[in-house]
Structure 1
Amino acid sequence: MIFPLSIVSLLGLACLGLLASPYPYLAPGAVLGLVGVAVLYRKPTWGLLGITALVPFEGFFKGNALSGSKFLGVSLILILLLQLAIHQLPGERLRSNIWRFLIWFLILYGLSFITSDDLGMSAGHLRELSVGLILFVITLLIGRELNLDLFARLVTLSVAVTCVMAMFSAKYQDQGRASGLLEDPNAFALLIAFAVPMALLLVLRSPNLLHRLFWGGCCLLLLGGMTKTESRSGLVVLFLSLVIGTLHYRAQLPRIRPRHLGFAMLGAAIVIPLAIYAMPAGYIARIQSLSVLSAGAKGHDDESLGRRASYIVVGGQMIRENPLLGSGPGTFPLHYAPSGYAAAFSANRKIGDLYRRAHNTYLEIFSELGIPAGLLFVAMLGLGLYNLIRARRAWMLRRNWEQADLLTHLSISFLSLTLFLMFLSAPNQKYVWIMLALSSVLRTQAEEAPLLEVRA
């Protein structure tokens, strides 16, 4: 512990230096930072939980050189490197079956970066992706001590708070659609779809009626926020999540008595008409516009669907031109802008409106990094989902139904992320990389747990 004490002494000297400098008002912040680093050294998982809770609030710190997430991330990196160096943290925790795909993905990413059509755009993409990779490593190292119940509570509360802000303040809306503290309503809908399964788990696990009402209220806020985003993809993903959750709990359906069914029907008769009445007219029109898909979507029928169809056309052309290494990370907007579709679907012909991303993570990776890297990325996500399924199965074999239910809801949340990536360009989304690493950790924990003997 001599080395950590030397770091503390160095930071103490820095505080004294700030007091003697022209900026003495920064000294209290340095002291608080020192206290925070000391706490994180003892409880690194608190830092990961803090990063998780701050994801919906990242818009507050956009453009700032220092934010809560950056402070926690840098502090965790330094602390974990130190703990690895002094063998306080075993290096075996870095083992994961995800590496078998991730290493080859990163090699192909590097080759695509070298041959990129625009190194500046690729450098920006690499900087964004590195955040997710760092969180992946951090989660592998400290995921075993992560309190998953607290993880679910923080995700639910943080997203629900931003839903309240987005529903009742035009400041957090984009042309009438709720975007929270994010620029894209679909990105906000992704956070909601990720949080809903966890919120439902908290309702089911509530120890008393008061807690159940509280978490039930959070569920209603999340559903209200999803409605306000007017995201059709969010509605589809949320519906699939609820169907999968219903299938998981189908074994408990025989426990429902006729009187319970009557109350459920009464609640549905009240809630459904109210939901339809409260649903924005624009959202209903957007949902009805999905009917044009059966006849082929055209730009004049639905501009959003037409624009997404143009992304597929441009992305397909990029794949045909560079099937092995793609055009380079982050270069899809460079190919889309001069395609003609950009001008056709741009309302103001501004640079930012012409250089658009693919709004589909899988299409973007296949077109920018090539087919092999795209397949590896899909394989990583598929393996992450498989890890969670195996972990759930392992807990069921050990008759630990509480852990099995937890894994079910985490699996649905992760599945929501993977489905939403088809409608959003977010390869660096923090929840994706945290859950990817967590899937490996949870599977290892479940399979290492001792089997209980079944008495005859």
Structure 2
Amino acid sequence: MIVPLSIVSLLALVCLALLASPYPFLAPGAVLGLVGVAVLYRRPVWGLLGIAALVPFEGLFKDNAFSGTKFLGLALVLILMLQLALRQIPETRLRSNIWRPLVGFMMLYGLSLLLSENMDLSLTHFRDLGVGLVLFVITLLIGRELNLDLFCRVVTLSVATTCVMAMFSARYQEQGRASGLLADPNVFALLIAFTVPLALLLVMRGPSLLHRLFWGGCFILLLGGMTKTESRSGLVVLMLSLMIGLYHYRAQLPRVRPRHLGFAMLGLAILIPVAIAVMPDGYVARIQSLSILSNGARAHQDESLGRRASYIVVGSQMIRENPVLGSGPGTFPLHYAPTGYAKAFSANRKLGDLYRRAHNTYLEIFSEIGIPGGLMFVGMLGLGLYNLWHARRLWLARRDWAQADLLTHLGTSFLSLMLFLMFLSAPNHKLLWIMLALTSVLRYDAEQAPSREARP
């Protein structure tokens, strides 16, 4: 109890100082901070849940120097450092097979940073990536206390809430496309694609019909939100996730009776026409435009596909010019802006549109950090996916179907993140680094389960 009392004393002094300062109205905030720190000290995992829940609402805090997410992150860092120093958390929790590729990637990243063409851009990129690295360490330390069912509920509710806001309010739309509280509709689509497998898990695990109906409603909201984003990449990733789910539950198909099949066909007969009727015309046109890929993307046929093709051309040239260490983190826009592609796709737009990111995390990493660094990054994500597959195989060998189902849905969500990185520049996405650390935690739990069961 010595540490909590010291924290109370410190914040009490802060409150007294604020009351005596020209800003006494800040004193209640210090009291709330005291309560928050005390709760996080007892339950640090609640802070991790809070960070995951606030990811869809980051747009609310973009103009604030100190947001709720930053408060939770800073408080967790200080609390966990203190608990490590007091040996309340064993250092062995930091062990992970992800460290080897991650350390290799960061070493190459550091060399590329030192030789960067623009140090200011590279330092900004490093600062953003540092947030993900901190979350990776935090999740390793407290991930074993994380209630994964609660994690699924929190993420599903937060993303479904933003879907409601985006579907029924033009304020949360970008040029007619739903973006929620985020700046890019595709980033919003990434969150939805990540959450859909989690929502389906809650539907399957619902303890009662009422629970299953509630989570089924959230699932429908997620599908509606995906439709409003008009994201073609989101639709592709979503369909792949549903196919993985069908393959995983294929053993349960023989349990379907003819009467169940009849109800399913009736539901599809109603759902498909309704979905087509409510689907925006622009989304249908965007989906149909994918047919031109067989003949090559042309800007006059589809500007978005043409622009993405130009990113590949510029990124490939950057890789040829600097294959080992790249041009420096965050420098892709500097190479893209002087090209004719930037001018062609920025007609009648503001000057800032000339400086565009690659909208492909893998292409961006390979072109900015170099081929060795890119391979380390891809290997790191691939190892994370293997961790989930290995853990699922262990649970299946023990005939623990509930844990195997959980690993399948979490693995599908992580795979959705990995696939979406081909359409977005998001190497610092918070959920990516949280899930990357969770893969090590879940594999460790699966491997240690027999010894735990053997304990009296």
TM range (shorter): over 0.9
Of 6-15 and 303-312, more deviation after overlay is shown by 6-15
Q: Is the 8 A contact 2:98 2:440 kept in 1?
A: yes
Q: Which runs of 5+ in 2 are unaligned?
A: none
| Distance (Å, rounded) in 1 between the aligned partners of 2:91 and 2:74 | 19
Task: Kindly state the Cα deviation for residue 439 of structure 1 after the two structures are TM-superposed.
Answer: 0.3
| Distance (Å, rounded) in 2 between the aligned partners of 1:34 and 1:299 | 56
| Distance (Å, rounded) in 1 between the aligned partners of 2:368 and 2:296 | 27
Q: Is the 8 A contact 2:4 2:38 kept in 1?
A: no
RMSD of the alignment, in Å?
1.1
Task: Kindly state the Cα deviation for residue 5 of structure 1 after the two structures are TM-superposed.
Answer: 2.6
Deviations along 1:276-317, whole A, 9 cap, x unmatched? 111000000000000000011111110000000000000000
Aligned match of 2:169:
169
Aligned match of 1:428:
428
| Distance (Å, rounded) in 2 between the aligned partners of 1:347 and 1:282 | 21
| Distance (Å, rounded) in 1 between the aligned partners of 2:415 and 2:164 | 25
Aligned match of 1:273:
273
Q: Is the 8 A contact 1:121 1:331 kept in 2?
A: yes
| Distance (Å, rounded) in 1 between the aligned partners of 2:433 and 2:348 | 35
| Distance (Å, rounded) in 2 between the aligned partners of 1:6 and 1:348 | 59
Aligned match of 1:416:
416
1:62 aligns with 2:62: yes
| Distance (Å, rounded) in 2 between the aligned partners of 1:357 and 1:302 | 19
| Distance (Å, rounded) in 2 between the aligned partners of 1:206 and 1:272 | 25
Q: How does 1:150-169 map to 2 (within 5 A)?
A: 150-169=150-169
Q: Is the 8 A contact 2:388 2:407 kept in 1?
A: yes
SS at match of 1:64: coil
Aligned match of 1:87:
87
| Matching residue's letter, 1:295 | N
SS at match of 1:450: helix
| Distance (Å, rounded) in 2 between the aligned partners of 1:347 and 1:255 | 58
Aligned match of 2:402:
402
Deviations along 1:387-406, whole A, 9 cap, x unmatched? 00111111112221111100
| Matching residue's letter, 1:143 | G
Of 393-402 and 403-412, more deviation after overlay is shown by 393-402
Q: How does 1:33-432 map to 2 (within 5 A)?
A: 33-432=33-432
Task: Kindly state the Cα deviation for residue 452 of structure 1 after the two structures are TM-superposed.
Answer: 11
| Distance (Å, rounded) in 2 between the aligned partners of 1:375 and 1:122 | 20
What is the TM-score when the length of structure 2 is the normalising length?
A: 0.98
SS at match of 1:338: coil
Task: Kindly state the Cα deviation for residue 63 of structure 1 after the two structures are TM-superposed.
Answer: 1.9
Q: Is the 8 A contact 1:398 1:452 kept in 2?
A: no
Deviations along 1:226-271, whole A, 9 cap, x unmatched? 0000000000000000000100000000000100010000000000
What is the TM-score when the length of structure 1 is the normalising length?
A: 0.98
SS at match of 2:450: coil
Task: Kindly state the Cα deviation for residue 332 of structure 1 after the two structures are TM-superposed.
Answer: 0.3
Of 375-384 and 346-355, more deviation after overlay is shown by 346-355
Give the fraction of aligned pairs with identical amino acids, expressed as a percent. 78
Aligned match of 1:446:
446
Q: Is the 8 A contact 1:343 1:349 kept in 2?
A: no
Q: Which runs of 5+ in 1 are unaligned?
A: none
Q: Is the 8 A contact 1:381 1:418 kept in 2?
A: yes
| Distance (Å, rounded) in 2 between the aligned partners of 1:175 and 1:119 | 34
| Matching residue's letter, 1:115 | L
| Distance (Å, rounded) in 2 between the aligned partners of 1:77 and 1:149 | 24
Q: Is the 8 A contact 1:196 1:222 kept in 2?
A: yes
Task: Kindly state the Cα deviation for residue 11 of structure 1 after the two structures are TM-superposed.
Answer: 1.1
Task: Kindly state the Cα deviation for residue 3 of structure 1 after the two structures are TM-superposed.
Answer: 4.1
SS at match of 2:338: helix
CA distance 1:452–1:133, shift in 2 (3 Å) = closer
| Matching residue's letter, 2:352 | G
| Distance (Å, rounded) in 2 between the aligned partners of 1:452 and 1:93 | 16
Q: Is the 8 A contact 1:118 1:331 kept in 2?
A: yes
Task: Kindly state the Cα deviation for residue 160 of structure 1 after the two structures are TM-superposed.
Answer: 0.3
